[in-house]
Amino acid sequence: MGLNLDEKKAVVAEVSAKVATAQTMIVAEYSGLEVAHLTKLRAQARQSGVYLRVLKNTLVRRAVEGSSFAVLATQMTGPLIYGISIDPVAAAKVLNDFAKTNDKLVLKAGCYAGKVLDKSGVQALASIPSRDELLAKLLGVMKAPVSGFAVALGALAKQREAAAA
């Protein structure tokens, strides 16, 4: 059963709101994907903060008009699932990781920073560490010298105590 005009307007408004704050949009073909697998994919997307929906292409084209994702409109054909995220790599990572384990999901294209990405571009974007991973690595790098200094300071204190005794 199709959507009435008010429902279509609501979908366009919802997608427009997501697109307004997003940095990345990834599209993938999902033909033949079982409901259980799609449910699992949605759960992974929700966990990563990715807006993931199967949408009518015409509605998405309307929603992205005037945005940096408008360049992706030519890729919006066929049965597609859309992944939209604020994190530049989250949508690409979720869909790419799922496509690795399920051949029914085929990455088609993506858009990041106003540039259209092909399948290999989406895979390259997915290979970049996420913001959280980068922050954790930075914290580890910053913490290493401090903990090394503390160990050295403790050893020096013990050495001086032994020399004084």
List alpha helices for the chain, DSSP H: 5-21, 35-48, 57-64, 90-101, 119-127, 131-164
Domain spans of the chain, in order of start: 5-128, 130-165
* Mean pLDDT, the chain, integer: 88
Model pLDDT, residue 95: 94
pTM: 0.77
Judge contact between 25 and 19, C-beta under 8 A.
yes
Hey, which CATH number is domain 5-128, 3.40.640.10, 3.30.420.40, 3.30.70.260, 3.30.70.1730? 3.30.70.1730
Average pLDDT over residues 136-141: 80
Model pLDDT, residue 133: 79
Residues 43-69 have pLDDT tens digits of 999 998 999 999 999 999 999 998 999
Residues 12-47 have pLDDT tens digits of 999 999 999 999 999 999 988 899 999 999 999 999
The answer on pLDDT for 109 being more than 90 is: yes
